[in-house]
Amino acid sequence: MTTSQGAQSDGDGAEQRLQEQFDATIAKDQRIEPRDWMPEGYRKTLIRQIAQHAHSEIIGMQPEGEWITRAPSLRRKAILFAKVQDEAGHGLYLYSAAETLGADRADLTERLIEGRQKYSSIFNYPTPTFADVGVIGWFVDGAAICNQVPLCRSSYGPYARSMVRICKEESFHQRQGYELLMTMMRGTDAQREMVQDAVNRWWWPSLMMFGPPDGDSPNSAASMAWKIKRHSNDELRRRFVDMTVPQAEKLGVTLPDPELRWNEERGHHDFGTPDWSELKRVISGDGPCNEQRVARRRAAHEEGAWVREAATAHAAKRAARSARAQEAQNTQEGTAA
């Protein structure tokens, strides 16, 4: 443990040495591990970020999960079912990573369903057609990858390691989404219209996934200094646009931004400004599906309470039974001797 007896009796001096050691680890691009000393702000920031990320995976199962029962081919059904299952798995690894920092999964779930912790605002938009499944894969998983690939080098070890696995799976999902759209674009007029309509609806919310503009992002500076986060919101947003434009051309869809054009001089695309007031509205709970998403998560949690209680009760009874059996055996052996 890092707070040894010596450190405690030594007071502020020891704390300062620990802080120096921590700063040096960060500066050398080495990993902080669960048993290492870390500043309280670092721990809190990480718990907040990892929990939000875990919540996003779990709430993010809903918009696409609604289509598993209706997927129009068995192959698409299997792909979508496996994808949504992966998201549950990602939620599990991330809650475990948060637990290495002293958080408790049940408590984090309570915070989510009571609205005290956030999840990615993108999941508060509805999925009215099957094309949404493809566009979510392409844009939303694509944006998630832009955000998350740098986190594989995050300074906190357990988070960085879970991100490696998550990013690999997210890239399957993104390709699956894009491949669905490719197939639909080769299909009927109705299918092509569905794809374009979904692109129109998801483009701006996807750009908002990178968060507010850099000048307006309160938590970014500390996260960058601690190397929890490695690139600014605007940098990642620009990267996403640059990557997505050629893919849209290949697909044959139009991205709904009249200001979007290549800027030779900057070597990047120029693009319009998302409606930041919409992002604020959705984050503050006023998006099209906020209530529905949280209500469903709450209902699942509450309706499952009797199951979790039964599992706990059974485990306790079993432990008691085996303790009694052990005691009886000991007594018998004692008598025999």
Partner 1 sequence: MSDVTDDHVYLSLTEDHGDSDARWAFGTGFEDPLHGVDTAVPATVDAAELAAYCLALGDDALVGAQRLAQWCTLAPELEEEVALANIGLDLLGQARLLYARAGQVDGSGRGEDAYAYFRDAEDFRNVRLAELPNGDFAFSITRLLVLSCWRLAVFQRLAATAPDPVLKAIAAKGVNELAYHRQFAADWAVRLGDGTEESHRRMRAALAGIAPYTAELFVSRPGFGVDPADVREETTAVLQQVLDAAGLELPEAGALPGQGREGDHTEHLAPLLAELQSVARAHPEATW
Does position 299 interact with partner 1 (CB under 8 A)? The reply is yes
Task: Give the Cα separation of 332 and 2 in Å (integer).
Answer: 47
Does position 304 interact with partner 1 (CB under 8 A)? The reply is yes
CB 176 to partner 1: min, Å: 6
Q: State which of positions 278-297 bind partner 1 (CB under 8 A).
A: 296-297
In contact, 144 and 152? CB cutoff 8 Å: no
- State the virtual CA torsion across 57, 63, 64, 66 in degrees, nearest 10: 130
Say which residue the tokens 């052996």 belong to: 333
Does position 72 interact with partner 1 (CB under 8 A)? The reply is yes
Does position 82 interact with partner 1 (CB under 8 A)? The reply is yes
Q: State which of positions 125-184 bind partner 1 (CB under 8 A).
A: 130, 142, 145-146, 149-150, 152-153, 164, 167-168, 171-176, 178-180, 183-184
Does position 92 interact with partner 1 (CB under 8 A)? The reply is yes
Considering only 83, 237, 238, 269, the residue that binds partner 1 (CB under 8 A) is 83
Crossing angle for the helix pair 105-113 and 40-59, nearest 10 degrees?
60
The residue among 48, 46, 54 whose CA lies nearest residue 22 is 46
User: What is the token pair recorded at 330?
Assistant: 């000991």
Q: State which of positions 7-26 bind partner 1 (CB under 8 A).
A: none
In contact, 253 and 199? CB cutoff 8 Å: yes
Considering only 89, 157, 212, 256, the residue that binds partner 1 (CB under 8 A) is 89
Considering only 25, 45, 62, 290, the residue that binds partner 1 (CB under 8 A) is 62
Residue 17 carries which side chain, given as an amino acid letter? R
Considering only 102, 215, 265, 307, the residue that binds partner 1 (CB under 8 A) is 307
CB nearer partner 1, residue 180 or residue 289? 180
Q: List, in order, residues 6 or more apart from 153 with CB less than 8 Å away.
A: 29, 160, 227, 230
Does position 75 interact with partner 1 (CB under 8 A)? The reply is yes
Considering only 14, 18, 222, 243, the residue that binds partner 1 (CB under 8 A) is 243
CB nearer partner 1, residue 192 or residue 280? 192
Task: Give the Cα separation of 187 and 131 in Å (integer).
Answer: 12
CB 285 to partner 1: min, Å: 20
Does position 95 interact with partner 1 (CB under 8 A)? The reply is yes
CB 46 to partner 1: min, Å: 19
Considering only 44, 250, 268, 324, the residue that binds partner 1 (CB under 8 A) is 250
Task: Give the Cα separation of 218 and 94 in Å (integer).
Answer: 23
Question: Please, which residues bridge with residue 263 across strands?
Answer: 268
Q: Please give the size of the binding site for partner 1, defined by CB under 8 A.
A: 76
Q: 67 — phi, psi (to 5°)?
A: -95, -5
CB nearer partner 1, residue 29 or residue 333? 29
How far lies 223's CA from each of 36, 38, 43, 243, in Å? 18, 14, 11, 25
Task: Give the Cα separation of 289 and 124 in Å (integer).
Answer: 5
Site string for partner 1, 181-210 (x = CB under 8 A): --xx-xxx-xx-------------------
Does position 77 interact with partner 1 (CB under 8 A)? The reply is yes
Which three-class secondary structure state does DSSP give residue 126?
coil
Considering only 38, 47, 51, 58, the residue that binds partner 1 (CB under 8 A) is 58
